[in-house]
Structure 1
Amino acid sequence: MQSLLRNAVAAAMLIAVGAASGVASAETTLRASHQFPGGQGDPRDEMVQMIARDVGAANVGLKIQVFPSSSLYKANEQWGAITRGQLDMSAFPLDYASGRVPQFSATLMPGLVRNYDHAQRLNKSDFMKEIKQIIEDKGAVVIADAWLAGGFASKEHCITSPDTIKGQVIRAAGPAFEQMLSAAGASISSMPSSEIYTAMQTGVLDATNTSNDSFVSYRLYEQVKCLTAPGDNALWFMYEPVIMSKKVFDKLTPEQRDAIMAAGSKAEAYFVGESRKGEQKMIDTFKKANVEVVSMSKDDFDAWMEVAKASSYKNFAEKVKGGDELLKKALAVQ
């Protein structure tokens, strides 16, 4: 009887140990969503794929499954899903959430970022410290910074000075650009970049502005007559970081969090290099498709900035909580 009892106890202990080791070695799968085409060379997709590969290789019991092309969440649904903890990770144009967090429209303010070197300096500034604190307060964590330059394209004619936009229906990525373009005489139709092609194809849009990478990834060269590339006078720069749900991030082990941040740092370095190549790739692709390519002159840029200061900058400073101080912090970065 005692022998049977000892065997039963031993068996129970083995089952308990086995169950515990099973829990310890169980792999957690995180879901990453973004709107950009997958497997086609878009550096935003590759950024997330790199993070997934490196986190998997770190052997910390973590796997990241990537859902590109809005296959899991639509573009404008991702911020809410991230902050509620329903979605784990996203490559996300932050200004898309400015309807909920108005301060985020500062990350797509006309002329605020002049070039990629300026963007890198801005990342280390008090301006970005405040933006990232707001991101965290709202329920997300930045895993990797990413800034993209962009331009304009039209089915009608080249967009250079403010008077060239009059009468055109244009998509702008966020409130600040919408306010500036409206002040210059354009009509606005709001949508994420993933919907621009169809809107142009069906006559909803005459023109658009978006990032260099989106111009190529979404094949917008098939729909337009003229592209205005950023050149030396970039009016359009957008912050599109890789973010993660703070609820999810905080529940991970220290080793898992370290693996994610290390992978994010590596992906960020990759993106800095690729984003600088993006403009030439865009220009070459559009020229090959027989699209006229121009860029804004310094006079064009200055004229747009006069419109922006009287519209989007003024509105942001007056109507967004802490907006004036936030803009001052950003403009202090030379």
Structure 2
Amino acid sequence: MDRRSFLKKSALGGAAAATGTLAAPALAQGARKLTMVTTWGRGLAGVFDAAQKVADNINAMADGTLTVEVLGAGELVGAFEVFDAVTAGQADMYHGADYYFVGQHPAYAFFTSVPFGMTAQELVNWYYHGNGHAFHDELGQIFGLKSFLGGNTGAQAGGWFAKEITGPEDFNGLKFRMPGLGGKALAKLGASVQTLPGAEVYQALASGAIDGTEWIGPWADEKAGFQEITKFYYTAGFHEPGPALSVAMNRDVFDSLTPSQQKMIEIASAEAHQWNLAQFLSNNGAALARLQSAGVTALEFPDSVWDAFGQASEEVHSENMDDDIYKRVYEDYMDSLRASSSWIEKADGVYTRQRNRVLG
């Protein structure tokens, strides 16, 4: 039996076991309490806000019949343990970045971001008007989850480095924090890639445990304080052009809710997605200006580095094509990307370029 078949059988068995052992959610005066665990340390700018926004939305719409309690990473389980906690019934739902769970299935990366993948707008096009949500649900059925998009950071920065990157060779031996398939691509350039929870990144960078890191973008990065450690900041990256955050519920718990409560969770998550995207994008410009005033140098990777990123990313995708779900998701995702981008480039792209030229 191959590893992925074992994972699927184990997950299904765990979900079945959870049905018999999962304690009924707390009931008090007709109210049902749900516990949400997160991959985010409490208070992490933007990402923890998105989790709290989902909960606040549900609590407001449910009018006392549902109450969601949000727990930060480490308060019940560790950041990277939330997936297993929810599938096992230890918690009712999680909020996180699904690319942290490519070990459970590599196709989960598509529901955060993949290298040279979709922008935030292209992603919701695929998710809501293509097959994206259906694929997310197909994966969820394997692991006993019901998933929705529940946040988006917008295009993420290339990251913070101790020195300027002049060519692909500069990644050889570099200790760099980057999760998901982007991290696997960077490893092909010789980097020593580490996946760390967001709450641990600052200390790792400050101590020299890592030489560089990507996090999110100017606003969240400024809040994290990376500018106190290094001044070389690449404002565009290949790895996360429009990464989504996800809400996933234990499927048995979700199925036990009333249809109106299920719809509340769906709507609460979708509204938090758009709210969170606007939160990041409305704050990034001013934050970048502050960073530059504090001595940070904003840079772009040279073309030779972008080319190397592209080649490495293609290799990572090709290594997963023997998995049927991954292959089907990848092909559908790329079809949707091309269809969306062909119009966006001709409309938004031309307008933005001309607007910036006219207005200076």
Q: Which TM bucket (shorter chain)? A: 0.7 to 0.9
Q: 1:61 aligns with which of 57, 62, 65?
A: 65
Number of the residue aligned with 2:109: 105
Q: 2:96 aligns with which of 67, 86, 92?
A: 92
**Secondary structure of the corresponding residue to residue 150 of structure 1:** coil
Q: 1:269 aligns with which of 268, 274, 280?
A: 274
Length, aligned pairs only: 305
Q: 2:169 aligns with which of 150, 156, 163?
A: 163
Number of the residue aligned with 1:116: 120
Listed one character per residue, the Cα deviations across residues 258-316 of structure 1 (whole Å, up to 9, x for unaligned) are 3322322322221232233354255235324422211346664344212321x212212
Q: 2:231 aligns with which of 225, 228, 234?
A: 225
Q: 1:138 aligns with which of 130, 134, 143?
A: 143
1:48 lines up with 2:51 in the alignment: yes
**Secondary structure of the corresponding residue to residue 275 of structure 2:** helix
Deviation at 1:218, TM superposition (A): 2.8
1:32 lines up with 2:36 in the alignment: yes
Listed one character per residue, the Cα deviations across residues 137-168 of structure 1 (whole Å, up to 9, x for unaligned) are 31222243433332233442134653332231
Structure number with greater Rg is 1
Q: TM-score, normalised by structure 1?
A: 0.80
**Letter in structure 1 aligned against 2:35:** R
Number of the residue aligned with 1:17: none
Pairwise mapping of residues 167-316 of structure 1 onto structure 2 (< 5 A)? 167-174=173-180, 176-212=181-217, 214-230=220-236, 234-237=238-241, 238-277=243-282, 279-280=284-285, 282-296=287-301, 300-309=305-314, 311-316=315-320
1:190/1:84 Cα in 2 relative to 1: closer, same or farther (>3 Å)? same
Deviation at 1:111, TM superposition (A): 0.7
1:55/1:131 Cα in 2 relative to 1: closer, same or farther (>3 Å)? closer
Number of the residue aligned with 1:78: 82
**Secondary structure of the corresponding residue to residue 28 of structure 1:** strand
**Letter in structure 1 aligned against 2:55:** A
1:218/1:108 Cα in 2 relative to 1: closer, same or farther (>3 Å)? same
Deviation at 1:329, TM superposition (A): 1.3
Listed one character per residue, the Cα deviations across residues 35-91 of structure 1 (whole Å, up to 9, x for unaligned) are 435456x23322232332233233151111122354232111100011112112222
1:180/1:264 Cα in 2 relative to 1: closer, same or farther (>3 Å)? closer
After superposition, the CA RMSD in angstroms is 2.7
1:280/1:183 Cα in 2 relative to 1: closer, same or farther (>3 Å)? same
Instruction: Please give the alpha-carbon distance, in whole angstroms, between the structure 1 residues aligned to 2:124 and 2:171.
Output: 31
**Letter in structure 2 aligned against 1:209:** E
Instruction: Please give the alpha-carbon distance, in whole angstroms, between the structure 2 residues aligned to 1:127 and 1:260.
Output: 18
Deviation at 1:132, TM superposition (A): 3.1
1:179/1:47 Cα in 2 relative to 1: closer, same or farther (>3 Å)? closer
1:194/1:224 Cα in 2 relative to 1: closer, same or farther (>3 Å)? same
User: Which segments of 5 or more consecutive residues in structure 2 lack a partner in the other structure?
Assistant: 1-26, 339-360
Instruction: Please give the alpha-carbon distance, in whole angstroms, between the structure 2 residues aligned to 1:98 and 1:65.
Output: 26
Instruction: Please say if residues 161 and 304 of structure 1, whose CA atoms lie closer than 8 Å, have aligned partners that are also in contact.
Output: no
Instruction: Please give the alpha-carbon distance, in whole angstroms, between the structure 1 residues aligned to 2:326 and 2:231.
Output: 37
Larger displacement relative to structure 2 (291-300 or 177-186): 291-300
Deviation at 1:248, TM superposition (A): 1.6
Instruction: Please say if residues 143 and 265 of structure 1, whose CA atoms lie closer than 8 Å, have aligned partners that are also in contact.
Output: yes
Number of the residue aligned with 1:328: 331
Instruction: Please say if residues 46 and 220 of structure 2, whose CA atoms lie closer than 8 Å, have aligned partners that are also in contact.
Output: no
**Letter in structure 2 aligned against 1:162:** P
Instruction: Please give the alpha-carbon distance, in whole angstroms, between the structure 2 residues aligned to 1:249 and 1:284.
Output: 44
Instruction: Please give the alpha-carbon distance, in whole angstroms, between the structure 1 residues aligned to 2:32 and 2:48.
Output: 21
1:292/1:251 Cα in 2 relative to 1: closer, same or farther (>3 Å)? same
Identity %: 19
Number of the residue aligned with 1:13: none
Instruction: Please say if residues 39 and 97 of structure 2, whose CA atoms lie closer than 8 Å, have aligned partners that are also in contact.
Output: no
